[in-house]
Amino acid sequence: MKKNNKSFLINFLKLVETLGNKLPHPFILFTIFSIIILFLSFILSKFGVSISYFDIKTQTENVININNLLTYENLRDLISGIPTIFINFPSLKIVVLMMMAIGVVDNIGFFNVLMRKYLLKTPKNVITTVFIFMAVNANIMSDAGTIFAITMGGILFSALGRNPKIGIIAGFAACSGGFTANFFVAGTDALLAGITEQAAHSVGYNITVNPLCNYYFMAAATLLLTFVITFVTEKIIVKVEGDYEGLSTSQLNEYKLTEDEERGLKYSFYSFIIFVIIMGILTIPQNAFFRNSDGGFLPKSPLLSSIVMIIFFLFLFVGVGYGIGTKKIKSSRDIPKYLQKGLSQAIPLMVTLLPASIFIHLLNKSNSLKILAFACSNVIKELNVSPLILLLIVTLMTSFLNLFLTSGSTKWLVLSQIVVPTFALLNISPAYAQLAFRIGDSATNIVSSVQNLIPVVLGLLADYEAEGKLKLKEGEKLGFGTVFSLTIPYSVAILITLVIAMIIWYLLDLPIGPGVYLHF
C-alpha cells in the first residue's frame, strides 16, 4: 500500500510538472499576465468594483476602487516608467549584487575547494540537514537570504556530485517556505509587531506587542522545519527527481587539495577574520556606525538596511583572500574580472525580471489585490467561531491570498485591521493572530505564481544546464512546472507541520514568546 501511495505521489507530481511546463517561457508568460491585468482592470472598473474599509490610522471610512490601467494617462506613465520600474525592482538589485559577489568566490574555486575539504566524506543526510538549517535561518536577510540559500544549494550539491536542482529547490523551500522560522530576530518581526500593536489599539486595547512576541514558536519551528524539509528532500524529492551517483572513493583521491588550494583556504580565513574585526568595530561600540540613533539595531538601523552590501563585502573579502593565496589574483586588475564573471551569470535572470517587474507593478497599481484582500478579511470578520477555528481560518486564508500577493507587510496591513481586533475582543492575544498569519504567509511562498524569486530559481537551473552540471531528462524543459511540481510537497509539509505545532501550543497554552500566552 505504501508503495502504491508513493507511486501515486510521484505520478501526481510528474503530472503537475508536465502541465506546468506547457506554459510559455517566463518572459512570455509574465508579458501575457501583464496584458491580462490591463484589460481586467478596464472591465472591473467599468462594473464599478470597489470596497470600503475602516482606516485605523485616520479613523475614517475609505473606499478602494479598481484603477483602470487602459487610459492614455496610465499607459503613458507605464511606457515612460518601465526603465524605472525595472531598475527599482527589489529582486533585480539584490540579484545583481549577490551574483557579482558570489560569482567571485564561486568562479575562483573557493566553494568547490571548501566542499572538497570538509564535506565530501560526510553522509548525505547530514550535509542536507546542516544546509537546510542554514537556509531556514538565512531568511533573516529577507530576499537576499533566499537568493543566498538557492545559490549555495546549487553550489553545494554540485560540488558533492549530486543533482544541483535538488539543492536549489531545497534551499528555496527552506528559506522562503520556512520564512516563519528563525533563531534570530529580524526587521520583519519588528515591522509586523508594530502593525499588530496599532491594530489592537484601534479597539481600545493599549497593549505593547514587541518583536519577540512569536520568538519561542519561531525558534522551535526552526528545528521542526529543518527535520521536515530534510525528510521531504531525501525521501520524496530525490525519488521524484533522481540524484547523481556522487563521488566514489577512488574519485575522492583525485580531489585532494593542492598546496596552493590549502594556502588559499588559509588566506580566505584570514580575510574573514579581518572582515569580522571590521564589522565588530562598526557594530559593537554604543555609537557605532551601524547602530541607529537609539544605539540599537531594531526595528530599523543602518545594519539591517545595509545587509545586502555587507554580504557583498563578506564574499568579496573571502574570495579575494582565496584568490591571492592560490595566485589566481595577482593584481588589482584581476578582481573586476571575477566580478564580471559573476554578473554574466545574472543575465538570464535580468531578461525574465523585466516583464516580471512590470506585472507586479500593474497588479499593485490596479488595486485588484487590495480589494481581494479586504473582501477576504470581511469574510473572516463575519465568522463567529472558536479561537482555534479562527486561527486555522486566518492561516488558510493567508495561504490562499499568498498565491496572489506575496508581500507579507501589505497583506498584514489589510488583514490585521479585522483579525487583530476580532481576537482582542475575544481576549485572545494579538500575537496569536500574527502567528497564524505568519504561518500561512510562509508556507505557500514557494508555490505562488507572483513570487518574484521564481525567475531567479529558473535562471540558476538554466545556468547549471548550460554548464552541463544539470542533466535534464529526455523531453524535459525548465519552466514554472519544474519549480511548482517540486515545491508543492515542501509547501504542504511546511503548512501541516506549522499548523500542528500551533494547535499543540494552543491546546497546552504554551507561551509563543516571552510572557505571551493565548489570553492576555
Residue 62: phi and psi, rounded to 5, are -120, 160
The mean predicted confidence, pLDDT, of the chain is 81
Q: How far apart are CA 454 and CA 484, in angstroms?
A: 9
Question: What grid cell was written down for 5?
Answer: 501511495
Q: How far apart are CA 15 and CA 70, in angstroms?
A: 37
Least confident residue range of 28-42, 57-71, 115-129, 228-242: 115-129
CA dihedral 349, 350, 354, 355 (to 10 degrees): -20
Q: How far apart are CA 167 and CA 438, in angstroms?
A: 25
Question: What grid cell was written down for 466?
Answer: 548550460
pLDDT at 108: 87
Closest by CA position to 441, among listed 406, 410, 490, 485: 406
437 vs 115, residue with greater confidence: 437
Place of cell 524535459: 476
For residue 372, give every residue at least 6 positions away whose Cβ sits within 8 Å of its Cβ, in sequence order, or none: 401, 404, 405
pTM: 0.66
**Over the stretch 193-243, which tens digit does the pLDDT of each residue have?**
877 887 777 555 677 777 778 889 999 999 999 999 999 998 999 888 887
3-state DSSP assignment of residue 113: helix
Q: What is the DSSP string of 254-276?
A: HTPPPHHHHHHHHHHHHHHHHHH
The separation between CA 496 and the C-alpha centre of its own chain, rounded to angstroms, equals: 19
**Over the stretch 251-273, which tens digit does the pLDDT of each residue have?**
445 557 889 999 999 999 999 99
Residue 53: phi and psi, rounded to 5, are -150, 160
Q: Helix axis angle, 430-443 relative to 480-508, nearest 10°?
A: 160
**Over the stretch 321-343, which tens digit does the pLDDT of each residue have?**
999 999 999 988 899 988 888 78
pLDDT at 251: 46
Q: How far apart are CA 435 and CA 431, in angstroms?
A: 6
pLDDT category at 77 given cuts 50, 70, 90 is: very high
pLDDT at 278: 96
Q: How many angstroms separate the Cα of 481 from the Cα of each of 249, 264, 396, 486, 487?
A: 36, 41, 23, 8, 10
Average pLDDT over residues 298-327: 85
Separation of first and last alpha carbons in the chain: 48
**Over the stretch 59-70, which tens digit does the pLDDT of each residue have?**
677 788 999 999
pLDDT category at 84 given cuts 50, 70, 90 is: very high
Residue 332: phi and psi, rounded to 5, are -65, -20
pLDDT at 142: 66
pLDDT higher than threshold 80 for residue 112: no
